[in-house]
Structure 1
């Protein structure tokens, strides 16, 4: 009797991937566990120890305000910084990162005042030291909260030794930086208009200003010519000017009480007209004579309701240089502001009739809109101020700090400038000088803290001179030319701002901040420039903080050499932008870190904020910039491209994203975008990022499973590998070059999308798919499932999978620190950490562009063939690709790579045949195929182990259900 062997179950002989790395990330739960692990192992200290002696890399942190929970812009900024720092560390640098906070100034002070207002408490009744203590406590509370939130984002840094502008050594250093400007002569006190907040009662920096739509009143006002004195003889026109009025147009009626002059363009042409006919309701008067710019006649007549007017001819603007005009309130017994009460610096009236104003040439006057004349209120505009000062005209202080008119201003005393438009128009009407008024809506500057409108207001303030003998502007422009910008467009943006900016106003009339700790001689107003006093002040501040300036008597700072009665102690605080611009001094220099920093990175709005403040402060004290490169991010918008606001309900909070998805998803969102342009975020976009993350995680999981039991003894040299493996090493080399270029240039645009594409297209949909058969079947296992032997193809595959795993986990570590570390530990053990590993060194010979070109052709044909296989499956001709035999007909001139490749292996079919057509591909043929791939059922029997259909199945009596290859690996 013949024994017939029973059909054997070969499933145990097939290698199947095994890993403890779970398919689900469960990031909200696992990420805090990772943070605790890193904290317990002292990761930051180990990074510093490992990097000792390496080339340092310093990304100097721009300080956020410590006054609330983090918003999505904070997350974008800190994640981008963290990716760059982690990547530099893994690229072989010593990336020491010190996070910091801005704790002084209006943002904090305003919050405390809000609490006072809710409690019915008056800030002015609170002792200044008590108020400052509340500000300090408020900032300290939010600093700790924000630090925890930044850590939860996965941001690695020297949190134990973070910096804050309110730390005593920081306050001392800020005061010392002010002293440097006092010593070199660039610091001065002067009167000039600054952007002023009547609500907050202080000057504001440009970076603290935002623009909102606002409805205002525009007016056209007659200034009666009172003294038309000409140089030379005769009148330039056939009619005298004695009865004519200059017409000005302004959108700020509240500035009329501060008028001191009228500006004209000496190069422009002007017409003297007489009104013949008006529209009903027009305030113009038939027969009156008016003067406006020639180019604006038509638009002016339309605005004023003038139907017809005759011109007496045109004259050049320089004819007005000796003219005087009546102030609009002259006939209403309104004293000209320049001779009233609190007159400012140099307030006098040379060569001017009482109650009248001069006409002055101003190149800034244009004929684009209005009338070609601009009324000058030197306390309320920079052009006004400088033109009047050049002509020895004073600056009256008609408006108080809170935006109300001074008590000695007739008609308007005590009124607020933003509520006075009707009163001004009524007074102008009473004097017969109002020609037209209209309401209009426009974009207007507001405080970004109080949201209240701002005004230009001349106040004595402390300034840093831009164009004095210190040449700060010129040095700043030269420093910008030597700086790398990412994107490059940032260079022109900040350069144009520095070129046109006025002197830097650094004083604020507030309480919470570092005082401008200097003394001024009461007699000659000169700064007491004594190095011993400066050194004494710094030492006291280092020990007691800036509060000492308010708590100690002046004598403690002046010492015995000076009488406090002779000096004014300055109590204005310094602009917070000066403080943050000084951080390089007390974070880098004071800690012995390399200076200048390699990189400053903030949002694009910081071209006018922190970047510029840091540049000017450093150039003014050291002659060069504190940075080598500047990188800027865009802003975060919602999915429709709208600015986020609570009223729209479109705010995405980072805390909510972390609770739902985990920080790695938020980090992936940042680095999958072009961060240098505006980014969008919302529910749908986050779902897309979660899908991308799952694909990357599944790639890592398959790698880990496929490397189960891998040992170094399996490693195969590249030269002994099949072309497919060499091609995958080429792909790694290309990605490595992209990554290294990003490390060097700080431009990460496209890097992580390319890594995701590699995972999805090159690995999951291509290489993994092709090599599953060899990985699973080209191996013999013992009874415990351990590998006994394998094919050279499988050995090459596992060698490449090992390299891919090492590359992917380290490359992903900067952007997905939690997931990458989990994938690293899943393979190398819980005691290991990917963040202590370097990026793998990629040999130069892995890069093979010729090989890449050949495999690009192969993949193009494979894509077409897979389409035909899918069509056959869809029609029911085959159930799976392994049931098929495919025939490819190549052109005779097709690349050899297409003719020599194992198409059955690449297409995952049981059989493949390659034919060569007798004719060439010919002109216009889009692919090297002469016909569509032919799909048919493969001949033979299905192998019980590898499932290929082959004629050879059954030829081995010991294993009648297996193909030859499978018999070899189960013997």
Structure 2
């Protein structure tokens, strides 16, 4: 610039804002939290009347530790939904809650007792329960603050707790509905049992880990064979059997069949040797081909000997003999299913020394569809007390149940050979029982082979110790019992109602959730309701002394008794059940206390959380008018947990699902896709992310992720999220800076705006549909991606880049500048409200930068309605063509810049050759030089010369570079012929006019 040339820097309208590029979120976010609490944002939103409700019912986290990244993912997703529904015109209430009862808390208190040398059983049960309550209260306080720090909105002042007195009363009341409608019964069947925790567990409390088990191949000697399948009166001479025998190709002569089979043994395979003393049958499958095999030669240390005859599935013979170190064998004869069905076996311990006759009984062969030849031998050892398939076979064929295993996982003291031996120790390690059984089998000559197998095995998700199936008296809810409760719209049984609800009443996000829950409920057994613990809501029922569970008067069903229990729980909590004189108090004068026993088991905690719809949705003023939630949202593990238990519980008490929608999210993994583990050092704690980046970065990670699958997180991923955040923040800073001083007097009607501004309004109309549909579909990744691309590509890299010249250099009353500022104002209101459910702190900061005030908050506003008239598909098609040509121009100029031919695009005046006549005509209706940020431009239909720059993806467009002619305007830096011919030295006509020339 010449020394005497004026400096026009102060005449340019550069952005003015105090909004910093460095967010400083970790330090600043707590102040916004305090502010929201001070001005009562959540409560003020509840004052907006006449809005349709939207109820997301919170699945209660467990009150026993700091939050992990899965908690953060879950609560942030819920917050996205609650806030977005609120800002789209709903009354979106959110009542956070906690699961407070159950074994994890009880286990912690027991650990404290053990550390002090105290015995839990010597402490009064009410005192122990009070310690559990205090423990839960402490962690609720911690977790509440941790959730609030993530920016989660909700009724934090009045959450729901399953240990509140009213909640405990309602849980008991809901249980007693099962008592009254006939679904409740006491049964003795095998259930998942934790010897370490000495209680039954539901499937939802079980996780599967690799475990090394003993595997054994055991011989059950054949002691008899009869044609059980056929009526001897119809076939007295066995003629049919002889014909079938010959037709099937059995090579053992029919008359000697029984003699030959009596020398053989059926071989079973099992990974639970400790269950052999409880064996009562062997199962086979009619669809499997079996044969009689003879051992011809054995290897070193084989348990078999030449001449041994064994019966195996044909497909399992080779692997079985290999395991048994049998080096040569032959198939003696195939055996038909009616031959196998007619076998009677001896228990392997029959006649064993020291057995005292415990196992001197016959073992029947029984058909079972659960038997396969995928592994093992094609035969399944059946212990009805220790497996569900075994139990079902036992029911069908009236097999005896055994009670050999005690609650601590040891054999009953008087069991011969094995009395008192532990299957699992109190520490969850393997006890001596398995090895003892294997040794006794070897002594008895019944052990064909043994080995070890690493496989997936059930463990308690609390103690992490292995589990066993154990037969024990428990309380069950019968899910196939016909309920006479007048609520049969969707079926007469719990299972029918649940399956109908899944298909007809619930929207699943993603849809795969439907299939998962449907298949689980379709195949599940009755619900085990009882737990042999202390911290929980008791099974509030009484049983008649001396009566059998099958007797009609076994359970006391008295509405007056039930009412007294509920009233006491409302006033005193569930501790009232354990108070001295409780039985007499509840039975009153109507029943003899000596005639009844009080049940002291506690309810499965999944019944607690499954009942929350009653004391939250139904009973609270901020619940749901019809007691049904619009949405339940949890991780995929809750198909067998909360979604499942809530479905079963509600179908038993209100006749249908307690929710209209279910959304599931995946688990959190590290950056390499590995499961997070403290031992691996790959965990990501929400608290650490918040300290380093701020909660908005964690929220943005959730928004950028596909939550329907497992999500990865780690340092590098978070760096990428932070970079996206900075780019978005830059967009918002541009808006704020260029809206300084904007007033309604500047506003321009869309009809009077230039086409570029109307194109932006069209994009906003498109985005409004995308955002609203995305929020309604809970597609936050889709919403954020659309907004991020719009903000960084359509705005920052295109519209803002083009309109900087107008915003900075046009006169304040310029129609173009007023139109641009009007569009910026419209953009501000939409971007802040569209993004507010996701970036709760940042959008509040942006809002307050423009609209300060003690009562001001973006979260008190709805997303603005977008006029349908803004949508202009014809205009959009035109400008799509303009943008395609512009891409070629900017690419051509970039090469010139890289080659240092020019320093800025304003030094260029390119010639653009366009083959498409419609596009060319469109370019000539606009100031294409402004769009390309050049000082001049020429568009022509002439064919592109060879030296023209082209982009393969934009055919029919060629650009020839030319430098701009004229002088450089000292105010706007355009190079124009008229520069220097106006009153203000060194200016172009536009800048001269802006300066009042």
TM-score (norm 1): 0.95
Match of 1:82 in 2: 79
Residue 954 (str. 1) matches residue 980 (str. 2)? yes
> C-alpha distance in 2, partners of 1:45/1:809?
21
1:301 to 306, 312, 321: 321
Unaligned runs of 5+ in 1: 341-353, 780-788
Conserved in 2, the CA contact under 8 Å of 1:225 and 1:244?
yes
1:355 Cα offset (Å): 2.6
Equivalent positions of 1:745-824 (< 5 A) are 745-779=777-811, 789-824=812-847
Residue 211 (str. 1) matches residue 231 (str. 2)? no
Match of 1:474 in 2: 496
1:757 Cα offset (Å): 1.3
2:5 to 4, 7, 10: 7
> C-alpha distance in 2, partners of 1:192/1:214?
25
1:107 Cα offset (Å): 1.4
Residue 619 (str. 1) matches residue 651 (str. 2)? yes
Conserved in 2, the CA contact under 8 Å of 1:28 and 1:658?
yes
Equivalent positions of 1:258-337 (< 5 A) are 258-333=278-353, 335=355
Match of 1:246 in 2: 266
2:616 to 581, 587, 590: 587
> C-alpha distance in 2, partners of 1:203/1:317?
38
2:963 to 902, 919, 937: 937
- More displaced 10-residue stretch of structure 1: 890-899 or 549-558: 890-899
1:928 Cα offset (Å): 5.8
Match of 2:557 in 1: 529
1:725 to 750, 757, 763: 757
Equivalent positions of 1:414-563 (< 5 A) are 414-417=420-423, 418-419=430-431, 420-470=433-483, 471-482=493-504, 483-524=506-547, 525=549, 526-553=554-581, 554-563=583-592
Residues 732 and 424 of structure 1: is their aligned pair in 2 closer, same or farther, counting only changes over 3 Å? Answer: same
The one-character-per-residue Cα deviations of 1:778-808 (angstroms, maximum 9, x if unpaired) are 12xxxxxxxxx42111111001000000001
Conserved in 2, the CA contact under 8 Å of 1:267 and 1:318?
no
> C-alpha distance in 2, partners of 1:138/1:389?
44
- More displaced 10-residue stretch of structure 1: 313-322 or 471-480: 313-322
Match of 2:18 in 1: 20
> C-alpha distance in 2, partners of 1:920/1:467?
82
1:936 Cα offset (Å): 2.7
> C-alpha distance in 1, partners of 2:779/2:846?
26
Conserved in 2, the CA contact under 8 Å of 1:225 and 1:324?
yes
SS in 2 for 1:911: coil
Residue 871 (str. 1) matches residue 895 (str. 2)? yes
> C-alpha distance in 2, partners of 1:866/1:449?
62
> C-alpha distance in 2, partners of 1:322/1:531?
53
1:376 to 367, 374, 382: 382
RMSD (CA atoms): 1.9
Match of 1:838 in 2: 862
Match of 1:676 in 2: 708
The one-character-per-residue Cα deviations of 1:553-578 (angstroms, maximum 9, x if unpaired) are 20111111001111110111000111
- More displaced 10-residue stretch of structure 1: 716-725 or 322-331: 322-331
Residues 743 and 818 of structure 1: is their aligned pair in 2 closer, same or farther, counting only changes over 3 Å? Answer: same
Match of 1:786 in 2: none
> C-alpha distance in 2, partners of 1:7/1:822?
42
SS in 1 for 2:708: coil
Conserved in 1, the CA contact under 8 Å of 2:802 and 2:933?
yes
The one-character-per-residue Cα deviations of 1:752-771 (angstroms, maximum 9, x if unpaired) are 12111111111111111000
- Aligned residue pair count: 941
> C-alpha distance in 1, partners of 2:933/2:187?
82
Residue 357 (str. 1) matches residue 381 (str. 2)? no
The one-character-per-residue Cα deviations of 1:659-716 (angstroms, maximum 9, x if unpaired) are 1111111111111111111111111111111111111111111101100110111111
- More displaced 10-residue stretch of structure 1: 445-454 or 4-13: 4-13
> C-alpha distance in 1, partners of 2:888/2:108?
65
The one-character-per-residue Cα deviations of 1:243-267 (angstroms, maximum 9, x if unpaired) are 1111111111111111111111133
1:852 Cα offset (Å): 2.3
Residue 714 (str. 1) matches residue 746 (str. 2)? yes
Match of 2:928 in 1: 903
The one-character-per-residue Cα deviations of 1:485-513 (angstroms, maximum 9, x if unpaired) are 11111110111101111111111111100
2:851 to 810, 816, 828: 828
Conserved in 2, the CA contact under 8 Å of 1:272 and 1:314?
yes
Conserved in 1, the CA contact under 8 Å of 2:294 and 2:331?
yes
Conserved in 2, the CA contact under 8 Å of 1:507 and 1:573?
yes
- More displaced 10-residue stretch of structure 1: 301-310 or 818-827: 301-310
The one-character-per-residue Cα deviations of 1:455-496 (angstroms, maximum 9, x if unpaired) are 111111111111121311111000001210111111101111
Residues 217 and 21 of structure 1: is their aligned pair in 2 closer, same or farther, counting only changes over 3 Å? Answer: same
> C-alpha distance in 2, partners of 1:380/1:198?
14
Residues 667 and 821 of structure 1: is their aligned pair in 2 closer, same or farther, counting only changes over 3 Å? Answer: same
Conserved in 1, the CA contact under 8 Å of 2:944 and 2:957?
no
2:36 to 38, 42, 53: 38
1:69 to 66, 69, 79: 66
Match of 1:256 in 2: 276
Match of 1:167 in 2: 164
> C-alpha distance in 2, partners of 1:271/1:141?
65
1:138 Cα offset (Å): 0.4
Residue 152 (str. 1) matches residue 165 (str. 2)? no
Conserved in 1, the CA contact under 8 Å of 2:916 and 2:956?
no
Conserved in 2, the CA contact under 8 Å of 1:279 and 1:307?
yes
SS in 2 for 1:823: helix
> C-alpha distance in 2, partners of 1:11/1:925?
38
> C-alpha distance in 1, partners of 2:594/2:770?
67
> C-alpha distance in 2, partners of 1:48/1:123?
46
> C-alpha distance in 2, partners of 1:460/1:848?
71
1:6 Cα offset (Å): 4.9
The one-character-per-residue Cα deviations of 1:65-106 (angstroms, maximum 9, x if unpaired) are 000011110100001001100011110000111000000001
> C-alpha distance in 1, partners of 2:953/2:611?
63
1:892 Cα offset (Å): 4.5
1:421 Cα offset (Å): 2.3
Residue 885 (str. 1) matches residue 909 (str. 2)? yes
1:916 to 941, 948, 952: 941
> C-alpha distance in 2, partners of 1:569/1:670?
49
Match of 1:784 in 2: none
Residue 398 (str. 1) matches residue 404 (str. 2)? yes
SS in 2 for 1:159: coil
Match of 2:92 in 1: 95
1:310 Cα offset (Å): 2.8
> C-alpha distance in 2, partners of 1:327/1:333?
14
The one-character-per-residue Cα deviations of 1:428-470 (angstroms, maximum 9, x if unpaired) are 1100000000112111111111110011111111111111213
TM-score (norm 2): 0.92
Conserved in 2, the CA contact under 8 Å of 1:336 and 1:356?
no
